[in-house]
Structure 1
Amino acid sequence: MMPQPQPATSQPQSVAIVGPQYCVPQVLDLAIVRKVMSLTDGSFVVTDAADNILFKVKGHVFSIHDRRVLVDAAGNPLMTLTEKIMSAHDRWQAFRGDSTDPKDLIFTVKRSAMIQLKTKLHVFLSTNTTNGHVCDFRIEGSWSERSCAIYAGESNSIVAQMHKKHSVQSVLLGKDKFMVTVYPNVDYAFIAAIIVILDGINKDDHGGD
């Protein structure tokens, strides 16, 4: 059973990670459509409630490691998401634009433990000075049920929450569609990137739900 969101007043004035232009003062519902059978693995489209395209994801299947690029509606690269090779905890890194230079690192995502029955990931911003001891955000829940929540640090304050949208049409078209509610003043480009990384970590259904 998913925890109830805490009041939005518990949130900071703004959680701008990719950019302040992606923080809005009201609740934002994102629709995420993933093509289930696609040669371009990780093919996502992210829209708002009115079906306006906000982001797309371009994936690279035939490479040594998973690499996905989050682009805006005009096709401009916002973030490059890469899987770190030979990482025991399924570590992913997010870089600004189409860069993979360490100086452009925005955040890192990794499993809290190697073996998990449920999804539990920790997010560390590049500005984190705790040497990986205290996370800035964490993700908990069930990826297979599309019911994960994203929390601020180790608190019970939810910044975004996933929920499955069942649709016969989506199933017939070979698409996986679910919704993500982003709470006020939280960077929705950052949340979209987290969802893409969640998919990457769980694409082989290993070590977690």
Structure 2
Amino acid sequence: MSASSSPSTWQIPVDFTITKAPLGLTGAGDLTVYDANGNFVFRIKRCSNSHPRRIKTLFDAMGNPLITVVHHNDGWQAFRGDNYERNDLIFTVEKTLYSPIKTELEVFLSGRNQGDLKPSFRLKGNPFRRSCTIFNGNSIFAQTSLFYKLRKVIYSRRKFRLTVYPGNDPVLVMAMLVVFFGGS
């Protein structure tokens, strides 16, 4: 058996389940993320409605703020932790297409050359259908989809799947999805 076919060297995608809190309850619209074994991993919470900007924060399972996403002018910005300092900027997001059936976003990582106008990531899909594909160049970085059940006509949009492909950062993916699914 060669080293590349050994199970210890396989790189497999990582699946997560994302659940959206129903409207009318405390935390309506907040997202909770579980790993494939059902363990709580992340929570995405909205800042209070009294704040003039739309702000969402990604927390780890221990309640530590990992990334805060802030609506800024016509786009979004993501920062490390729970602050909005320019030196903690991770990425900015711009909408390139928005329609009822299709949304496309471009993500620009900070720290890249200012003259580089090429996005680091592109997100394409339909937020209503909970479908999003994140591309890094021509490669798929991560994907979301609804859970489908055989013989069921109506599917819940409150619970959906996220697949993060090998070698990619789930925290970065979650931060981008905060904009894609909560950016409107």
Shorter-chain TM-score tier: 0.7 to 0.9
Provide the residue aligned with 2:124 in structure 1: 140
- Residue 193, structure 1, aligned to residue 179, structure 2: no
Provide the residue aligned with 2:58 in structure 1: 70
Shift of 1:130: 4.3
What are the ranges of 5 or more consecutive residues in structure 2 without an aligned counterpart?
1-9
Provide the residue aligned with 1:164 in structure 2: 146
1:106-141 deviations in Å (ceiling 9; x for gaps): 11111025x545110000001221446210000012
Q: Is this contact kept in 1: 2:21–2:27, CA < 8 A? A: no
Shift of 1:35: 1.1
Q: Is this contact kept in 2: 1:42–1:196, CA < 8 A? A: no
1:59-91 deviations in Å (ceiling 9; x for gaps): 12412111111110000111111111xx23xx1
Aligned partner (choices 94, 105, 118) of residue 110 of structure 1: 94
Question: Aligned AA for 1:149?
Answer: T
Q: What is the RMSD computed on CA atoms of the aligned residues? A: 2.2
Shift of 1:166: 4.4
Matches within 5 A, 1:35-114: 35-37=21-23, 38-62=25-49, 63-84=51-72, 87-88=73-74, 91-113=75-97
Given the superposition, is the C-alpha separation of residues 132 and 145 from structure 1 closer, same or farther in structure 2, using an over 3 Å criterion?
farther
Where relative contact order (Cα < 8 A, 6+ residues apart) is larger, the structure is: 1
Question: Aligned AA for 1:200?
Answer: G
Matches within 5 A, 1:165-184: 165-166=147-148, 171=156, 176-184=158-166
Q: Secondary structure at the match of 2:57?
A: strand
The two structures have a TM-score, normalised by structure 2, of 0.82
Provide the residue aligned with 2:15 in structure 1: 29
What are the ranges of 5 or more consecutive residues in structure 1 without an aligned counterpart?
1-23, 203-209
Given the superposition, is the C-alpha separation of residues 25 and 78 from structure 1 closer, same or farther in structure 2, using an over 3 Å criterion?
farther
Shift of 1:41: 4.5
Q: Secondary structure at the match of 1:189?
A: helix
Q: Secondary structure at the match of 1:127?
A: coil
Once residues 132 and 43 of structure 1 are traced to their aligned partners in structure 2, the CA distance between those partners, rounded to angstroms, is 34
Given the superposition, is the C-alpha separation of residues 51 and 29 from structure 1 closer, same or farther in structure 2, using an over 3 Å criterion?
same
Given the superposition, is the C-alpha separation of residues 50 and 143 from structure 1 closer, same or farther in structure 2, using an over 3 Å criterion?
same
Higher strand fraction (1 or 2): 2
Shift of 1:99: 1.4
Once residues 132 and 69 of structure 1 are traced to their aligned partners in structure 2, the CA distance between those partners, rounded to angstroms, is 28
The two structures have a TM-score, normalised by structure 1, of 0.73
Deviant stretches of 4+, over 4 Å: none
Larger radius of gyration: 2
